[in-house]
Amino acid sequence: MGLLRVMMPPKLQLLALLAFAVAMFFLENQIQKLEESRGKLERAIARHEVREIEQRHTQDGLRERGPAAALSDSDDDLVIIYNRVPKTASTSFTNIAYDLCGKNRYHVLHINTTKNNPVMSIQDQVRFVKNVTEWREMKPAFYHGHVSFLDFTKFGVKRKPVYINLIRDPIERLVSYYYFLRFGDDYRPGLRRRKQGDKKTFDECVSAGGSDCAPERLWLQIPFFCGHYSECWNVGSQWALEQAKYNLVNEYMLVGVTEELEDFVMMLEAALPRFFRGATELYKTGKKSHLRRTSEKKPPTKESVAKLQQSDIWKMENEFYEFALEQFQFVRAHAVREKDGELYMLAQNFFYEKIYPKN
């Protein structure tokens, strides 16, 4: 090689080095492609082995337990509970479920409590748990209603329902509810509302110290997530705040935020396609039958917002909202990517291998 370097002109030496570098790059590229192909083949073989094992176990299980076991071990036995918080886009989201239930073959049931009381009596709790778990004709089912969280484990059930929910910036939610009671919305514009005829704006209410815009009215999202404990409904309870956080993380599969409703819908479609297949497309390009807007709503002034933000109740409700938002964004960051301005769900990012025994 040393003799060759002496005999070759500098330009040829340079060309030889470039050719060698290109050849090495090509070889490395081919090796990388072979490694990727090998990885894909291993994953394909692993998936095939898993399917064979699953089919074998399913067949063995059905033979041992009989045909009745097929329903209980499938998505057809799934129950979702959406204990919707008022004025968080709950009707808008629920209408998506109604639009899809026929196509995706599940039932939607509205939990209509007397006077919209979010706390059930102990006897109604038992009845509700029994209905949700044993009403086989209604499964799979999507239950929704303005009811606070109910812990099914207290009633000894074997399979708990899947809880989902949406929450909203607490002041924006209160403002929306304030005007909704006076002017209704575009969903049922002819329905007479409880405060219809009261023309006072939200800002005027705050300035006058009215009860409909008092800080105590902010205390709603925390007790809805806290549940059926007396302390949940004690306004300003630190215990209720911590219990609500605990339930959000441990009892809810997914909690979205009103301000990012499309992402919430997309993630549900990816996680629960049995119910939400087609939901994202419906939300984006459908007839917009799911959209609902409060009429005559005027944004509050900075002064009104600042006055509400001085209260400890707002600070607690806002802490809970920020906690839920951070959790939602964490889940989304591990499930969604953006490309060319469009969001898309990540494909399955795990597989099984080294499965033994082989037979």
CATH numbers and ranges of domains, the chain: 75-345 (3.40.50.300)
CA angle 85, 321, 261 (to 5 degrees): 60
Mean pLDDT on 154-161: 93
Task: State the burial class of residue 171 (Cβ atoms within 10 Å of its Cβ: 0-12, 13-18, 19+).
Answer: buried
Predicted pLDDT at 194: 55
Among 62-76, 111-125, 193-207, the range scoring the smallest mean pLDDT is 62-76
Q: What percent of the chain has pLDDT over 90?
A: 59
**pLDDT number for residue 8:** 64
Output the pLDDT for position 71: 42
| Residue where the block lists tokens 């076991």 | 69
Q: What is the DSSP letter of 231?
A: G
* pLDDT at res. 53: 58
Determine which one of 107, 144, 290, 334 is catalytic. Answer: 144
Q: Which amino acid is at 143?
A: Y
Whether 334 sits among the annotated catalytic residues: the reply is no
Residue 98 has pLDDT above 70, yes or no: yes
pLDDT above 50 for 227: yes
What is the pTM for the complete model shown? 0.77
Q: 144 in helix, strand or coil?
A: strand
| Residue of 48, 107, 146, 228 marked active site | 146
> What confidence tier does 13 reach under pLDDT thresholds 50, 70, 90?
confident
Average per-residue pLDDT for the chain: 85
Which 8-state DSSP code applies to residue 155? G
| Residue written as token pair 């459908």 | 286
- The 10 Å CB-count burial string (b at 16+, else e) for 262-293 is ebbbbbbbbbbeebbeebbebbeeeeeebebe
Beta-sheet strands, E only, within 10-136: 79-82, 107-110
pLDDT, one tens digit per residue, over 314-344 is 999 999 999 999 999 999 999 988 777 677 7
The values of phi and psi at residue 76, to 5°, are -70, -10
Helix then strand count (H, E) for the chain reads 14, 7
Q: What is the pLDDT of residue 293?
A: 59
Strands 342-345 and 336-339: antiparallel
pLDDT tens-digit profile of 289-314?
A: 455 555 567 899 999 999 999 999 99
- Assign 107 a pLDDT band (cuts: 50, 70, 90): very high
pLDDT score recorded for residue 270:
92
Answer yes or no: is pLDDT of 7 > 70.
Answer: no
107 is catalytic: no
pLDDT above 60 (res 33) = yes
- Average pLDDT on 160-180 reads 95
pLDDT value of residue 58: 53
| In contact, 336 and 266? CB cutoff 8 Å | yes
Q: What is the C-alpha to C-alpha distance for residues 127 and 116, in angstroms, rounded to an integer? A: 17
Predicted local confidence at residue 70, as pLDDT: 44
Task: Please tell me the predicted confidence (pLDDT) of residue 111.
Answer: 96
Write the single-letter amino acid at 299. Answer: P
pLDDT range class, residue 54, cuts 50, 70, 90: low
Split at pLDDT 50, 70, 90, the class of 69 is: very low
pLDDT higher than threshold 70 for residue 191: no
Nearest to 254 by CA among 243, 267, 242: 267
Q: Which range is least confidently modeled, 79-88, 141-150, 180-189, 295-304?
A: 180-189
The CA-based diameter of the chain, rounded to the nearest angstrom, is 102
